[in-house]
Amino acid sequence: MTTDKTLALVEKLHQQSILPKAYQVAKGQRLTGPVVVDLDPTTFCDLACPECISAGVLNKGQFDKGRVIELAKELILSGVQAVVLIGGGEPLMHKSIGAIIDILHQAGVKIGLVSNGTLIHRYLQPLSQKMDWVRISMDAGSQAVYDRYRPSGRKQSVFPKVIENMRLLAARKTGILGYSYLLMYRLNDDGTILDSNYSDVLNAARLAKDIGCDYFEVKAMYDDDHHVISPPQNLLNEFERVLPDLIALQDAHFRVLYSSTYDELKVPNHEEQHKNYEVCPIMELRTTVTPNGVFACPSHRGSSDGYLGDVSTQNFPTFWEQVQTTKVNPKEHCKFFCPRHDSNLEIIKMRTLDNPPAPIKDFNLFI
């Protein structure tokens, strides 16, 4: 797996382990299980980030210890090839997380983790030896900015601990370690800028490289409905002024990545991403499993439009056999920015083909 293709979502569909299933979906056929599952073991989190996009689903329970272990085994039986441990909450807060990682790893399932990094030290061995990638949500390059955007209930800042944890992991990892930076700002009541983390982005990228991260990823801010928020032009200009310095940090071991949302930042007053298709093919290939239900995708986590059912008690293979993966109508339910819109268009193009195109070698199964 290389960081250069981490965000190559359309190209990922053409891998030899993915393409036959994508073609099958294009022809309107069901799969025995999704290729990728976003798994939220818990909704609890030890930080209190004011801009958290998952605020509406936080602190609303977690999978029972025994159930989540059985669920991991059921995902394997369903043919799931990759699992992203994510949230919702902070996945490392679930006490069964080590067992989940062990079960998936022993079965050859690829594993990714999205974390705030506060608890890495508790699971250093499995995180360093059994993960394909770990991405830490940071959004700052200094303690002062971090504490404003990623505060905790502790008396002391957790920023030094998170950085220490990342260094420990970087020194031992066999997979990829990423540093995630969400560009954020806050406005006064009169619309003027109250605060932002734009001025800290270069500090953060330099810190990420110093830690030993493999990449630094820049992302755009969303509103509560998952629409990309276009920043004031002066903030965008501030970021673009440091772009040459960000690019200069790159070398054979460190890359600067730009999320698919980055281009959306430059579209003024952009509110909707229009879609001309009424079925989401990616729903058959990827799903989001949480303690409070299974949802079409992370953007629909907690929404009635994207709710597909519950696996708290139901066996996952049985659930998947019965689930309606055509429930969501992207034209009506997904007017927000969808990172996998282009992937859907690519699968839709395959409908007209008599045979699937020639596959390419596997490089990253996290479609």
- Convert the pLDDT of each residue in 328-360 to its tens digit: 999 999 999 899 999 999 999 999 999 999 999
CA distance 280 to 271: 20
Residue 97 class from Cβ within 10 Å (0-12 exposed, 13-18 middle, 19+ buried)? buried
Q: What is the pLDDT of residue 266?
A: 66
Q: Using pLDDT thresholds of 50, 70 and 90, give the confidence band for residue 134.
A: very high
pTM value > 0.85: yes
Which pLDDT tens digit goes with each residue over 79-104?
Answer: 999 999 999 899 999 999 999 999 99
Strands 293-295 and 82-85: unpaired
Q: What is the pLDDT of residue 279?
A: 97
302-325 average pLDDT score: 95
Eight-state DSSP code of residue 31: -
Q: What is the pLDDT of residue 3?
A: 81
Q: Is 79 helix (H, G, I), strand (E, B) or coil?
A: coil
159-175 average pLDDT score: 98
CA distance 281 to 304: 19
Residue 120 contacts residue 161 (beta carbons within 8 Å) = no
Place of tokens 């993966």: 325
- Higher pLDDT, residue 265 or 284: 284
Q: Residue 249: which of 200, 215, 198, 199 has the closest Cα? A: 215
Residue 25 contacts residue 281 (beta carbons within 8 Å) = yes
CA distance 225 to 300: 9
Q: HSE of 362 in the Cβ direction (CA atoms, 13 Å)?
A: 9
Q: Is 129 helix (H, G, I), strand (E, B) or coil?
A: helix
Strands 36-39 and 82-85: parallel
CA distance 131 to 114: 11
Which pLDDT tens digit goes with each residue over 223-278?
Answer: 877 788 888 889 999 999 999 999 999 999 999 998 877 777 766 655 678 899 99
Side chain identity, residue 120:
I
Q: What is the pLDDT of residue 154?
A: 86
- SS in 3 state form for 185-225? EEECCCCCEEEECHHHHHHHHHHHHHHCCCEEEEECCECCC
Eight-state DSSP code of residue 306: T
Place of tokens 């501030």: 238
Dihedral Cα 348, 350, 354, 359, nearest 10 deg? -160
Statement: residue 13 has pLDDT above 90: yes
CA distance 265 to 232: 10
Statement: residue 199 has pLDDT above 80: yes
CA distance 39 to 290: 6
What share of the chain has pLDDT > 90, as a percent? 85
Q: Residue 117: which of 109, 127, 131, 104 has the closest Cα? A: 127
- Determine the topology of domain 1-115+274-367 in CATH: TIM Barrel (3.20.20)
Strands 193-196 and 185-187: antiparallel
Residue 111 contacts residue 82 (beta carbons within 8 Å) = yes
Residue 68 contacts residue 22 (beta carbons within 8 Å) = no
Q: Using pLDDT thresholds of 50, 70 and 90, give the confidence band for residue 159.
A: very high
